Structure 1
Amino acid sequence: MGDGRHQSQRDSTGTAEFSGLKALFLNCTLKRSPELSHTDGLVELSRSIMAQQGVTVEILRPVDYAIATGIYPDMRNHGWDQDAWPELYQKVKAVDILVLTTPIWLGEKSSVCTQLIERLYANSADTNDTGQSVYYGRVGGCLITGNEDGAKHSAMNILYSLQHLGFVIPPQADAYWVGEAGPGPSYRDPDSGGPENAFTQRNTQIMSWNLMHLAGMIRHAGGIPAQGNQRD
């Protein structure tokens, strides 16, 4: 983002310092708070990793907000009585790391996640102080849960969408858990095996650290160089 407010650096032991970074997890569950969200269980694993490294983390459920449907920055100017998106957009602009998280329904990311990406797109014409897309300098990732197939398909769609809007995607920027095919326990259900799954834990750890590393590198570099990618 280029303003140099917080820079990732290493202490005397060579350990990376991330205390200046901010992360926002948007849990695109279909369940309003405080109803149990299985996706929140996986979010908590990543959140705890980041928080232990000094990252300031906020977790929100878009379904708790009156977000209008549409592709304009403020849908109140287009016939809607309410639109909470402008408020959430300010939160997105205030962070270094954005993680979209979603359950799987019929092999796809949730409808809430689709709506959220559409609203991110609504502001993609905004620019930062160097004339780049407003999302430049921010790092994106995703977490997915479900008891049916579709995790990799959903991750491909989410990560493509984020990079297309200007977010930077690090290596292995997704992690997921899915149960056995057909009806069965979800991630946080007793005996699901989800929280204990070594593959999911490993990939969530890798994703979380790579998001922090890349966000810190971008901060330290002063953002993405503006040569050749300014909107005007």
Structure 2
Amino acid sequence: MSDQLNEITAKQCKNAPAAYNDLKVLFLNCTLNRTPILSHTEGLIKKAQAIFESVGASTKIMRPVDYTIPAGLGLDMSKTDEWDKDDWPLIQKEVDACDILILCTSVWLGEKSSVCNRTLERMYGYTHQFNSKGQYRDYDKVGATLITGNEDGVKHCAMNILFSLSHIGYTVPPQADAGWMGEAGPGPSYMDEGSGGPENDFTNRNTSFLVWNCLHLARMLKDNGGIPAFGNQPNEWQAGCQAGMDSPEHKG
């Protein structure tokens, strides 16, 4: 952390407005690099992780690229004729257990990574299921994103990721994205020596805002029983559903 981030974080954590030790935070690092290869995105993730943990929230980082994740919208693609193995249900179990999901990616050709696309697609495949209140299953969870790269695209990726999370039921707080971009072109990446990334106070400020806004919103949702189950229960609508279709939107 930069000296400024260290100082501000220590002060804020000492005067936190609530307790957060019952909150679970999951970072899905959609890097293209499998563990243990260096992930520049994970360098930024660890900044946010340190703040979450400093106020007692539990955290976990997973790299979807470490797992076998087939294309498809099935809950378990290994049960289809197309694939013999599917690790996605293992990741979905962690998604289900978290209160805050931070979907993280590097930027390639101005877009989020292919791993991030696959992750969102598999999450989308579960959206025909409901929670105990009859809402879509991801209601009452908080979503945000962290992004790194050495080319343009942070805000473009954030727009897509945050819309996608909101669309499937996540609640997105203010300032729910933070990122770092090096010099445009083949310049240094976030963790490269001399990049200036870890010391960049603009990135550090936005990362801190993201963490605290996620904590505030998750606390409010949990303490108030989540989003009221009124006017947002799919079973009250026919919505043009047809036999054999999980959802009117799953027509791909």
Q: Aligned with 1:211: secondary structure? A: helix
Q: Does 1:48 align with 2:22?
A: no
- 1:22-171 matches, within 5 Å, as 22-78=24-80, 79-171=82-174
Partner of 2:200: 197
TM-score (normalizing by structure 2): 0.86
Q: Percent identity?
A: 55
Q: Aligned with 2:72: secondary structure? A: coil
Shift of 1:14: 6.9
Please give the root-mean-square deviation of Cα atoms over the aligned residues, in Å.
Answer: 0.9
State the 4+ residue runs in structure 1 displaced beyond 3 angstroms: none
Q: Does 1:207 align with 2:200?
A: no
Q: Which runs of 5 or more structure 2 residues have no equivalent in the other structure?
A: 1-14, 236-252
AA matched with 1:18: Y
Partner Cα separation in structure 2 for residue 163 and residue 14 of structure 1 = 27
Shift of 1:226: 0.3
Partner Cα separation in structure 1 for residue 184 and residue 226 of structure 2 = 43
TM-score (normalizing by structure 1): 0.93
Higher relative contact order at CA 8 Å, sep ≥6: structure 1 or structure 2? Answer: 1
AA matched with 2:33: K
CA deviation map 1:71-92 (0-9, x unaligned): 1211112220110111111110
AA matched with 1:47: Q
- State the aligned residue count: 220
* Structure number with larger C-alpha Rg: 2
Q: Aligned with 2:213: secondary structure? A: helix
CA deviation map 1:88-139 (0-9, x unaligned): 1111010100000000000000000000000000001111111000000000
Q: Which runs of 5 or more structure 1 residues have no equivalent in the other structure?
A: 1-12
